[in-house]
Amino acid sequence: MITGEHKFKRQKNGNVHEYWYYRCSKKNKRVKCTESCISAASLEDQLSSLIKAVSLPADWAVELNRMAKEEHVTSAQSAGASVKERQEQISTITIKLERLLNGYLEQIVDEQDYRNQKAKLLSEKKSLEGEITSLSRNANDWLEPLQKWIKDASSLAEIASDCDLFRKKVAAKEIFGSNLRLGGKALTVTADDAPENGSVSVPSAWAALRAAHEEIGRRPLSCVLVPRTGFEPARP
């Protein structure tokens, strides 16, 4: 964690100078810390460098939007086919339920068998209905958040070049969370950059963007921007 200190210096002639300094939050009465403070100007410069490292270039943004829209169309078609398949399975189950009821009414099927088979068929039907809901949601819900993230990431270069320290702090909080560390007057990002959903196998979008900057020149841009699994969330 990083803490800011607001200090004033009064000169003999009556002039008052105002300063902001930043230090690690470990420095308190109970914990002795030998780390030196850094000035607001130094913090701003270092924040600018870190933010610029995860900014999304304009040509990347255009390419990502194009690829996302194409995949959205493809995934919607695929999801539609999967939904239709499950709807047909539900229709088959409905027919089986009707036949089962007729068999029970005609005393071909005893009550216990009727109850057991009915429960099994209704369970299958409920499971299929849940899959249909999930497919419909996943096919449509991911594009808008992705486009918003692309827009936000595209604005980082401007924020990094701006003189507004507050905007940089807000952006840094969004990107790095509590993973910024101050030591030796240097601002760094810790390796703990897992996404908030608790997964440790998939890096956050910002960590992936930092890695993408490092891959430029080694692989084609399309391979750098999009992993093999694509944009769309995994379907059941």
Dump the DSSP string for the chain: -EEEEEEEEE-TTS-EEEEEEEEETT-SSSS---PPPEEHHHHHHHHHHHHHTT---HHHHHHHHHHHHHHHHHHHHHHHHHHHHHHHHHHHHHHHHHHHHHHHHTTSS-HHHHHHHHHHHHHHHHHHHHHHHHHHHHHHHSHHHHHHHHHHHHTHHHHHHSS-HHHHHHHHHHHHTT-EEEETTEEEE-S----TTS-SSS--HHHHHHHHHHHBTTB-HHHHHS-TT-SSPPP-
pLDDT value of position 130: 95
What average pLDDT does the structure give for the chain?
79
Return the higher-pLDDT residue of 39 and 234.
Answer: 39
Return the higher-pLDDT residue of 135 and 187.
Answer: 135
- Using alpha carbons only, give the angle 41, 42, 46 rounded to the nearest 5 degrees: 115
Cβ pair 44, 26 in contact under 8 A: no
pLDDT value of position 192: 53
pLDDT value of position 196: 43
pLDDT value of position 98: 96
Note the pLDDT tens digit of each residue in 56-94.
Answer: 989 889 988 998 888 888 888 888 999 999 999 999 999
Return the higher-pLDDT residue of 174 and 22.
Answer: 174
Determine what percent of the chain is predicted with pLDDT higher than 70: 72
**pLDDT, mean of residues 85-112:** 95
pLDDT value of position 34: 66
Q: Where are the domains of the chain?
A: 2-42, 76-140
Cβ pair 39, 28 in contact under 8 A: no
pLDDT at 195 over 50: no
pLDDT value of position 177: 80
pLDDT value of position 26: 54
pLDDT value of position 20: 63
Cβ pair 34, 27 in contact under 8 A: no
